[in-house]
């Protein structure tokens, strides 16, 4: 039987310097492009659409190896912490296909 793992990240961002939705959107585009292009994540903005200084993204990653997936998620968290040192919080959930079927 094949093994598959999925990670779901809720990424809570704060943009203290954003003075408009346009400024926030510019930052979000860069974050989403990195997560999609460099990491291969599926990403969607899921909350705070109309607020200038806040956003919540949901990102998903999958792998056949739990270790590889955890390493990738750790890398995403480190990248986000470096980019937003005072304005990011990440909630992570990692599950196997068997967990999801239960």
Distances (CA, A) of 102 to 2, 19, 95, 96, 98: 16, 46, 11, 10, 6
Nearest by Cα to 93 from 60, 46, 47: 60
User: What percent of the chain clears pLDDT 90, i.e. is strictly above it?
Assistant: 68
Q: What is the pLDDT of residues 37-72, one digit of tens each?
A: 999 999 999 998 888 889 999 999 999 999 999 999
Higher pLDDT, 100 or 91: 91
How far apart are alpha carbons 87 and 54 in whole angstroms? 9
With cut-offs at 50, 70 and 90, classify the pLDDT of residue 10.
very high
pTM: 0.89
The pLDDT of residue 86 is: 79
Phi–psi pair at 40, nearest 5 degrees: 85, 25
CA-angle at 84, arms to 80 and 88, nearest 5° = 75
**Residues 6 or more apart whose Cβ sits within 8 Å of residue 21:** 50, 52
């Amino acid at each position: 039987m094949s093994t598959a793992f999925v990670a779901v990240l809720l990424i809570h961002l704060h943009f203290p310097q954003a003075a408009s939705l346009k400024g926030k959107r510019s930052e979000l585009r860069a974050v989403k492009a990195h997560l999609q292009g460099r990491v291969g994540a599926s990403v969607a903005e899921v909350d705070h659409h109309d607020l200038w200084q806040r956003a919540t993204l949901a990102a998903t990653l999958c792998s056949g190896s739990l270790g590889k997936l955890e390493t990738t998620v750790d890398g995403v968290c480190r990248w986000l912490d470096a980019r937003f040192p005072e304005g990011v919080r990440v909630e992570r959930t990692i599950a196997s296909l068997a967990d999801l079927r239960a």
